[in-house]
Structure 1
Amino acid sequence: MSEKTKIRFTVAYDGTGFCGWQKQKQEGQISVAHVVEQALEKVFNEKITLFASGRTDAGVHALNQVCHFSTHRKIDPAKKWDLCWALNSQLPPSIVAKKAWIAPEDFHATLSATHKTYRYLIVNRPRPSAHLNRYAEWVRKPLNIEHLQESSKFLLGKHDFKSFQSVGTPILTTVREIYQADWEWRRPDVLQFTITGSGFLKQMVRNIVGTSLMLEQKGMNPVKMQEILQAEDRKKAGPSAPAQGLYLMRVFYPQDLDNRCLEL
């Protein structure tokens, strides 16, 4: 059996209209992974098994989803083959391959990831946006950013985030570590929430955003966030924020692995 080459690449996508990243068994459900895998098979003319840093739900977007696959094709990094250009010729405009590398054998898009950054966008003004309705949540009443920031402080550090986990695939532990949880005005009527952590449970970021907005809108003490966290009960938290406002921004890997990836 011939030796395979492992390829790492980043992909951006508009999640609107897709059932999420992961392939689904239901007929008529089109996933981002399925479309990317099909495009790769056309480019490489072989069966491809695609791995990603993690799943994103239906309607969620990504700026830098990290993937890898292995191919029988011999690739010379010195020739600087533009794999992304070839791949993009087979992809719809809503999915774009950005950068590609030859990766070392021990690189794995899912297992090697150390932490991730997500961002959530909210249009905060009396009227919704006709152009941003697929890319942000709309909140009509003015939001108090100081309140949102204060409640988010309780998320920092290592905690059991069971209160913010939606029902899904069984996992070994609901403990995660959050390094950053910041609210800021991106422009006068657009608010953004940026969160970086060791990993995220199913719909965890959307549940945190929904809970933060609930506390602010009901005028509850920001310390309530800590009480909800400590309760380890999803019923104690707020509703899940809509999918369209969420973006996977960046996936981090050990510096050693990054250094051993050869850019194509």
Structure 2
Amino acid sequence: MAYQNLISEIKENILYITINREKALNALNRDTLTELADVIAFANENADVRGVILTGAGEKAFVAGADIKEFSDYNAEQGEELARNGQHHVFNAIERSSKPFIAAINGFALGGGLELAMACHMRIAASHAKLGLPEVTLGLIPGYGGTQRLTQLVGKGKAIELITTAGMISAEEALKIGLVNHTVSQEDLIIKATEILNLVKQRAPLAVSAAIKSVNAAVNEVNGYDVEISEFGKCFETEDFKEGVSAFINKRKSLFKGR
């Protein structure tokens, strides 16, 4: 996979994606979003990919926002289309992926960058990282799911405070309010993300996918319990279920095949 704004590599069934615009603090422009949509689709369709780690180039920024110059003269219709396309092809595509995505936040995660991290299923932040949604300082609001996902993660009051004040918070504060799963040193960031996915890789792939879908339903569906019940039932039809039960009974390690 050759991209202009991304570096992507599969190692031991983990797809590592680096947004490679370090001089621009890895800001999201049209071309970068297009490439992200492509690599996300690749991850979803490729059976060799069991999980994805998404990070930014360098140590300053994960993604320091969107490229404001590209949409500075948009009208309302164009603004809606910008948000709709980005949400459908990138942000929602990550959240709805059957493969777990981990955002390895290696620096500033601001605006669209924090929205990108929140679309991932898990977030790990380097200890020096700063996070925030500063859109109201531009006369905007978050448009890539930020108002929804931040509320789901930290609650209504804290979400309104962070969005309306446009303040940045530290990685430590983000951990305290549940915005990130872990904070580690910069040196340990990818190591920790890989460690988590290596644990996930030992589990039944179809069950992992069903679990992600069911957890998403807790916040995105009218009745997430119905989704959980349906996904639970489907698991009984998989070879992985039979293998898992057999391994448990015979006290051996499971050898899951994703079938």
Calculate the TM-score normalised by the size of structure 1.
0.24
The structure richer in helix per residue is: 2
Question: Larger RCO: Structure 1 or Structure 2 (Cα < 8 Å, ≥ 6 residues apart)?
Answer: 1
Calculate the TM-score normalised by the size of structure 2.
0.24
Larger Rg: 1
